[in-house]
Structure 1
Amino acid sequence: MDMGLSLKGRVAIVTGGAGGIGSATCRLLTERGAKVVVADLDGERAAALAADLPDALAVKVDLASEAEIENLFSKTLDAYGRLDILDNNAALLGADVVQADHDIANMTTELWDRTFAVNTRGTMLCCRNALKIMEKQGSGAIINTASNLALQGHVIQAAYSASKAAVLQMTRSIAASHGKRGIRCNSVLPGLTGTKAALADLPPRLRQIVEEETLTPYVGDPMDIAETVAFLASDAARSITGQMIVVDGGTSVHVPGFARFTEMIAGG
């Protein structure tokens, strides 16, 4: 392994760590040498994953609860005495939320507040706790998972995309305020990623549309996100901070109707 990519001796918290992207990230960070805290709302799944990793810790946490977030960081310090990496990967994406998150005209206040409570406020609280620890150490890396929807208008997921756009600005703010203290903060912006949760209820026609509008020959999978997080957490990325790394196969960078244009050109 390139020593610049090594995470040996470092301690990482991964929120949403028991999910598709989260579990892939936990495994990769462990392979690179980090000790990982698997933080997830599903305590049983988090415990099962931690038991399968060397020197890992599982903590059940609801990111809508400030007290539970503070408990997460307290348990991390009790177990390892430091924190080098925070991967804010968790988001409110339950089926009930996704089905109700449409346009602003039909948005309930309750859904908007629930989404921001986890995706934005929860991320802020995790960052705040991490920064207090990292400031004393004089080093640390925070990676906030946003979404390519934070860059695009859409007919649905108005609350989700707005909450993730706020995370982008939070990332820049932390990079600006704490860079001189040895702390870097970046955002990873996934597109549709091939997790079981993302694909389970996706209508075949919708998946076809996404595949057609993706510039790469494939839709990304959890390891694509995990590799990006591990890189940003490493010394190989020591001069990268305040940045948005979009990992969506190019779906957010092309002209509208890319797939139709491609068909027209191919057809002569």
Structure 2
Amino acid sequence: MGLALLEGKNLLEGKKIIVTGGAGGIGSATVDEYVRQGAAVTSIDIEDEKGRAFAAEANAQGPGTCMYVHCDIAVKEEVEAAFAQAKADMGGLDVLVHCAAKMQGMNAALNYTKDDYNFIFDNDMWGTILVDQVACKLMQEYGQGIIVNYSSETALSGAPNDGLYSAAKAGVATWTRVIATEWGHAYNIRCNSVMPTIKTPMYQAYVSHMDPEAYEKFMESRRAKHPIKGDMGDADVDIAPVMVFLACDMSQYITGQIFAINGGNTMVRG
């Protein structure tokens, strides 16, 4: 695992990075690789036991460092406090990677309620706006910064029975392009979004409940959709190296872009 082609080079040495949703899945894989690449990382989540455990594992491997801070990304006071603590502990803030999100069970478009809407948009849309705003204010002190927001391929594909999540994640992609323009001109902050198709704990739980026949049909559909690997990707191998690229100087002239890391399952067209 890791960036084999650049073995021995710590691409993020000296970088101060906040990763939201660091208690599992893509977030913890990103934290792990950032520490491996020499960064000082603050992992933020509400799953405290898992978050602390992943932070401890990352610290044990080094050469970078990781600390864990509890934070609900939809609560302004918690975000401001957590980011201020992270900045003080790390001595600054160079990069925000916003992985944290919430999902609901599948539901038909006709059946959504205002409560459903509030749950998804308060967390996934407003939560993104909030953490980006707080990060931007801190980054202004340094004259530059990097923000990477997580959208979803469902924002492009219009996934049936997942309408609110898909709509919120489409909003995240558009919001990211807006701030890439506004904050790039004003504060030299680069902003990009990621649309992944990656095996996560939620995915593993989903397939674990399938009987063998249903699982084989599901995998057959995945093989047809993914020109590369014939399946959903792995967070450590397929996402983490891209996250290093977006957080380091190799991507210094890239902003306002969508990175669809999905094995070709959904192809972004200009």
TM-score range, shorter chain: 0.7 to 0.9
> In the alignment, which residue of structure 2 is the partner of 1:30?
35
**CA deviation after TM superposition for structure 1 residue 3, in Å:** 10
> In the alignment, which residue of structure 2 is the partner of 1:230?
244
> In the alignment, which residue of structure 2 is the partner of 1:259?
none
AA at the equivalent of 1:182? N
Say yes or no: does 1:43 pair with 2:48. Answer: yes
Q: How far apart are the structure 1 equivalents of 2:155 and 2:180?
A: 19
Unaligned runs of 5+ in 1: 255-268
Say yes or no: does 1:157 pair with 2:162. Answer: yes
Of the three residues 54, 57, 60, the one matched with 2:70 is 60
Q: Give the 3 Å change call, closer, same or farther, for CA 214–86 of structure 1 in structure 2.
A: same
Q: How far apart are the structure 2 equivalents of 1:162 and 1:137?
A: 34
Q: How far apart are the structure 2 equivalents of 1:24 and 1:153?
A: 27
Question: CA deviation digits over 1:127-168, x for unaligned, max 9?
Answer: 001000111101111000111111112212101100000001
Say yes or no: does 1:216 pair with 2:216. Answer: no
Say yes or no: does 1:69 pair with 2:88. Answer: no
| 8 Å CA contact retained: 1:5, 1:235 | no
> In the alignment, which residue of structure 2 is the partner of 1:148?
153
State the TM-score, normalized to the length of structure 1. 0.87
Where in structure 2 are the equivalents of 1:173-212 lying within 5 Å?
173-180=178-185, 181-191=187-197, 193-202=198-207, 203=210, 204=215, 205-212=217-224
**CA deviation after TM superposition for structure 1 residue 195, in Å:** 2.0
Unaligned runs of 5+ in 2: 1-5, 60-64
Q: How far apart are the structure 2 equivalents of 1:58 and 1:163?
A: 27
Question: CA deviation digits over 1:42-77, x for unaligned, max 9?
Answer: 011111122223331101111221111111101112
| 8 Å CA contact retained: 2:96, 2:135 | yes
Name the SS for the 2:254 alignment partner: coil
Q: How far apart are the structure 1 equivalents of 2:252 and 2:138?
A: 19
Say yes or no: does 1:113 pair with 2:118. Answer: yes
| 8 Å CA contact retained: 2:10, 2:36 | no
**Aligned Cα RMSD in Å?**
1.8
Name the SS for the 2:97 alignment partner: strand
Question: CA deviation digits over 1:200-249, x for unaligned, max 9?
Answer: 12342334322321111232111212221111111000000000010111
Say yes or no: does 1:244 pair with 2:233. Answer: no
Q: How far apart are the structure 2 equivalents of 1:49 and 1:141?
A: 23
Q: State the number of aligned residues.
A: 248
Q: How far apart are the structure 2 equivalents of 1:125 and 1:195?
A: 25
| 8 Å CA contact retained: 2:260, 2:267 | no
Q: Which segment is superposed worse, 47-56 or 80-89?
A: 47-56
Q: How far apart are the structure 1 equivalents of 2:180 and 2:110?
A: 35
Name the SS for the 2:259 alignment partner: strand
**CA deviation after TM superposition for structure 1 residue 116, in Å:** 0.8
AA at the equivalent of 1:87? V
| 8 Å CA contact retained: 2:145, 2:189 | yes
AA at the equivalent of 2:220? Q
| 8 Å CA contact retained: 1:147, 1:189 | yes
Q: How far apart are the structure 1 equivalents of 2:194 and 2:119?
A: 22
> In the alignment, which residue of structure 2 is the partner of 1:262?
none
Q: Structure 1 segments of 4 or more deviating over 6 A? A: 2-5
Where in structure 2 are the equivalents of 1:3-22 lying within 5 Å?
6-22=11-27
**CA deviation after TM superposition for structure 1 residue 2, in Å:** 8.2
